[in-house]
């Protein structure tokens, strides 16, 4: 049974849109809750440094490995069921993690949280299309693109408050309760959002994956996301280290600055969604984002600049780069091989995002170690942005070709 996307509504169901985005936000709590609690968890469970690394990076590994497959599964199951089911998997896994007696059980719980997270984030855009009128879709995708920075930053701040009072296990249980509550809200608020469903064999789902992989639009959007994620994740990951180790900033102040930089990505997504809604071409936003990140990256890793300018440069990378993910995600309905492959296309884009997040920090770290200086990191960011600009021109050509073909019909 495969879900296909119903015709867009005449009037946008904004309550449904809000709950779909809220589901993705609470799903991203699973990413943000671990880094803050990790020192306490390591002491209590005796996690090795390697195990601690897996506890954080397992989401990226799952995204790289299972992104498009989970998208195809979502197309088979239907996006609404996938979101609700993904949330329930996350909640159960978070309870399991709260009860974990050792590192093995904790890592199993993180694996399950990651699967639930991927289900939610690949299904969300497919259900957004059902919930919105065509004229509002680009704006809705602008809001959607903010789920990751908003969710991770929110749980990091909440965990900072709660850890000293209820411990990390208590934070995990609070998280599970919030996720269950969101599953109930989604079930009620989206009960009228039911995509058209038709039956399809499993073999056809595999053919859908293959068709998506060889389609130039979805593949290009995924590669754009790889380039973006390398730049963004490298900046966000190494900014605290730069502030503390290189510039002598206190840890609390560095954490606050880094959280602010990460959160600025929310406003970039909103700006991108508004610009798309007003008719700005996708390729223009991609070009602005990659150009700005390339230039601002030299400010982040320039050792001669004062700390204020380096933090401001990092905020520019996060803010102006934020127009890129919303442009990619809003492009999925345009470039999907067919409407019932939208979640599969989203899965491929998620795979690109996680590939960049996984590769960016270690590649940059290797370059820094080889050159014995942070300055080389700016060139890594510029090179990735340059690749992104080339891919932007590919997106431009594809979409102009579609427009010409549509005009001839």
The CB-side HSE value for 257 (13 A sphere, CA atoms) comes to: 25
Q: In 46-146, which ranges are continuous DSSP H helix?
A: 49-77, 79-98, 103-131, 137-144
Q: Which two tokens stand for residue 206?
A: 């595999």
- As to burial, measured by CB atoms within 10 angstroms (0-12 exposed, 13-18 middle, 19+ buried), residue 164 is exposed
Q: Using CB atoms within 10 A of its CB, is residue 365 exposed (0-12), middle (13-18) or buried (19+)?
A: middle
CA 36 to chain centroid, in Å, comes to 19
Q: How far is residue 227's CA from residue 223's CA, in Å, rounded to a whole number? A: 6
> Which residues fall within 8 angstroms of residue 221, CB to CB, at 6 or more apart?
328, 331, 332, 335, 345, 348, 349, 352, 395
**Rounded to an integer, what distance in angstroms lies between the CA atom of residue 259 and that of residue 280?**
29
> pLDDT tens digits, residue range 242-264?
787 777 777 667 777 877 888 88
399 CB-contact burial (10 Å; exposed 0-12 / middle 13-18 / buried 19+)? middle
Q: Which two tokens stand for residue 266?
A: 């929310």
Residue-wise pLDDT tens for the chain (409 aa)?
A: 444 445 556 688 888 889 999 999 999 898 888 877 877 888 888 877 667 767 777 777 887 777 777 877 877 788 889 999 999 999 999 999 999 999 889 989 999 998 899 899 888 888 888 888 888 887 888 788 788 888 887 887 788 788 888 988 999 999 999 999 999 999 998 887 765 554 455 556 677 777 877 888 889 999 999 999 899 888 887 787 778 777 777 766 777 787 788 888 889 988 998 898 888 999 999 999 999 999 999 999 888 888 889 999 999 999 999 999 989 888 888 888 877 777 788 888 888 888 888 888 778 888 887 887 788 889 999 999 999 999 999 999 988 887 777 677 6
Q: Rg of the chain over CA atoms, in angstroms?
A: 21
**Residue-level pLDDT at 386:** 96
Tokens of 128: 């957004």
Q: Is 301 exposed, middle or buried (0-12, 13-18, 19+ CB in 10 A)?
A: buried
Give the residue among 140, 126, 151 at the shortest CA–CA distance from 59: 151
d(CA 348, CA 122): 9
Residues 75, 215: Cα–Cα separation, whole Å: 17
The string of DSSP codes covering 265-320 is HHHHHHHHHHHHHTT--HHHHHHHHHHHHHHHHHHHT-TTS-HHHHHHHHHHHHHH
- Give the pLDDT confidence score for residue 309 in this predicted structure: 92
CB atoms within 10 A of CB 181: 14
pLDDT tens-digit map of 298-342: 999 888 888 889 999 999 999 999 999 989 888 888 888 877 777
Name the nearest CA neighbour of 380 among 393, 362, 396: 362
- Residue 53: what pLDDT? 67
* pTM reported for the whole predicted model: 0.80
Supply the pLDDT for residue 9.
61
d(CA 121, CA 248): 38
Query: Cα–Cα distance between 101 and 97 in angstroms, integer?
Result: 9
Report how far residue 260's alpha carbon sits from residue 315's, in angstroms, rounded to the nearest whole number.
8
pLDDT of residue 5: 47
- Gap between the Cα atoms of 349 and 162, Å rounded: 34
Supply the pLDDT for residue 88. 97
DSSP secondary structure string for all residues of 190-242: TTT---EEE---HHHHHHHHHHHHH-HHHHHHHHHHHHHHHHHHHHHHHHHHI
Smallest CA-to-CA distance from 27 within 54, 63, 51, 3 is with: 63
State the CB neighbour count (10 A cutoff) for residue 394: 17
Catalogue all structural domains in the chain, each as residue range(s) with its CATH number.
1-199 (1.20.1250.20), 215-409 (1.20.1250.20)
């Amino acid at each position: 049974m495969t879900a296909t996307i119903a015709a867009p509504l005449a009037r946008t169901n904004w309550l449904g849109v809000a709950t779909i985005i809220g589901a993705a936000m609470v799903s991203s709590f699973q990413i943000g809750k671990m880094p803050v609690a990790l020192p306490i968890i390591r002491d209590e469970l005796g996690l090795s440094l390697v195990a601690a690394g897996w506890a954080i990076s397992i989401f990226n590994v799952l995204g790289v490995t299972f992104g498009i497959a989970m998208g195809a599964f979502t197309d088979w199951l239907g996006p609404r069921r996938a979101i609700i089911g993904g949330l329930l998997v996350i909640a159960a896994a978070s309870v399991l993690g709260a009860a974990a007696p050792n590192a093995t059980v904790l890592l199993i719980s993180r694996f399950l949280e990651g699967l639930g997270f991927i289900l939610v984030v690949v299904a969300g855009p497919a259900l957004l299309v059902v919930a919105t009128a065509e004229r509002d879709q680009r704006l809705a995708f602008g809001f959607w693109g903010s789920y990751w920075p908003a969710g991770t930053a929110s749980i990091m701040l909440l965990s900072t408050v709660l850890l000293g009072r209820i411990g990390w296990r208590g934070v995990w249980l609070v998280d599970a309760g919030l996720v269950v509550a969101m599953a109930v809200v989604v079930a009620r608020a989206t009960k009228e959002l039911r995509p058209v469903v038709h039956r399809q064999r499993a073999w056809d789902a595999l053919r859908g994956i293959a068709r998506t992989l060889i389609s130039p639009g979805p593949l290009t959007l995924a590669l754009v996301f790889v380039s973006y994620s390398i730049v963004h994740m490298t900046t966000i990951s190494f900014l605290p280290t730069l502030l503390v180790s290189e510039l002598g900033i206190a840890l609390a102040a560095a954490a606050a600055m880094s959280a602010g930089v990460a959160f600025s990505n929310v406003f970039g997504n909103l700006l991108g969604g508004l610009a798309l809604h007003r008719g700005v071409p996708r390729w223009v936003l991609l070009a602005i984002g990659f150009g700005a990140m390339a230039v601002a990256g030299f400010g982040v890793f320039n050792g001669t600049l004062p700390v204020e300018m380096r933090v401001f440069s990092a905020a520019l990378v996060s803010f102006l780069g934020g127009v890129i993910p919303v442009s990619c995600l809003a492009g999925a309905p345009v470039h999907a091989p067919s409407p019932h492959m939208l979640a599969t296309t989203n899965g491929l884009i998620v795979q690109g995002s996680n590939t960049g997040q996984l590769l960016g920090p270690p590649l940059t770290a290797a370059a820094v170690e080889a050159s014995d200086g942070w300055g080389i990191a700016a060139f890594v960011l510029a090179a990735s942005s340059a690749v992104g600009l080339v891919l932007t021109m590919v997106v431009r050509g594809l979409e102009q070709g579609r427009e010409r073909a549509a005009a001839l019909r």
